[in-house]
Amino acid sequence: MNPWLVMYSRLQSFKLRGSGSAKFVVRDLWKHDLCHYNHIIIFGVDSMMPPLHSKLIREMTRDCNVIACRFPLPCKPSHMIGEGLDTVWLYKHSDIVQHSTT
């Protein structure tokens, strides 16, 4: 919910691609429905990842991808790059939902 980071992200997106296709919003994650997004990037804290996983199970669409920075969700990702604090995890819908049934 940091408007300065959102503004910076908008500026960087415009500078790198010159396109308005990316949308950056300031919202309370826990009150906002995530079903309208194809890509979700989360830079959160470790303690929020299990409740976020539950929210994603309920709200993400089949074509949605989730990128988690710094801390992983409690399920196996499709792809992972980096190491330590610079690790980034990619989750597809099947990664998120599959974990909920095991």
- The angle at the Cα of 72, spanning 15 to 37, to the nearest 5 degrees, equals 50
pLDDT over threshold 50, residue 102: no
Cβ atoms 77, 90 nearer than 8 A: yes
Residues 6+ apart with CB under 8 A from 33: 59
Domain spans in the chain, listed from the N-terminal domain onward: 22-100
Note the pLDDT of residue 62.
94
What is the radius of gyration, based on Cα positions, of the chain?
14
Cβ atoms 67, 90 nearer than 8 A: yes
Q: What is the pTM of this model?
A: 0.80
Looking at domain 22-100, what is its CATH homologous superfamily? Answer: Vaccinia Virus protein VP39 (3.40.50.150)
Cβ atoms 49, 68 nearer than 8 A: yes
pLDDT digits (tens, 9 = 90+) for 14-61: 888 766 677 777 788 899 999 999 999 898 899 999 999 999 999 999
